[in-house]
Amino acid sequence: GAVVSQHPSRVICKSGTSVKIECRSLDFQATTMFWYRQFPKKSLMLMATSNEGSKATYEQGVEKDKFLINHASLTLSTLTVTSAHPEDSSFYICSARVGPGNTEAFFGQGTRLTVV
């Protein structure tokens, strides 16, 4: 299957700082990428959908000013958690679809964010 690389896999940051997470499609061009958040023993919660060259679409209840998403190229999307607080600590996962007509989504390895 297609490969999606997410970096970093783990990050610890101080409260009030910002942290950027990168999601890259390595062997295909991803017109659409998705960002999820996962709490312990819970399923994936979709945060936002990003389309290359346009603004991201955020799910209800997700603060767009706190979770900045940029999809500047067909192989890279970034999620920046701004002014992080301990409650933002979570497992963040990105995914990408191979093409608009393809329903299959492939996931990155995930990023464990800990805000202290």
Partner 1 sequence: EDQVTQSPEALRLQEGESSSLNCSYTVSGLRGLFWYRQDPGKGPEFLFTLYSAGEEKEKERLKATLTKKESFLHITAPKPEDSATYLCAVSRAGYSTLTFGKGTMLLVSP
Q: Which residues bind partner 1 (CB under 8 A)?
A: 1, 4, 6, 32, 34, 41-44, 46, 49, 91, 93, 95, 97, 100, 103-110, 112
| Comparison of 11 and 107: residue with beta carbon closer to partner 1 | 107
User: What is the rounded CA–CA span in Å between residue 72 and residue 57?
Assistant: 15
Smallest gap from residue 4 Cβ to partner 1 (A): 8
Q: Show Cβ contacts of residue 100 under 8 Å, excluding neighbours closer than 6 positions.
A: 31, 32
Smallest gap from residue 32 Cβ to partner 1 (A): 6
| Comparison of 8 and 110: residue with beta carbon closer to partner 1 | 110
| Comparison of 74 and 105: residue with beta carbon closer to partner 1 | 105
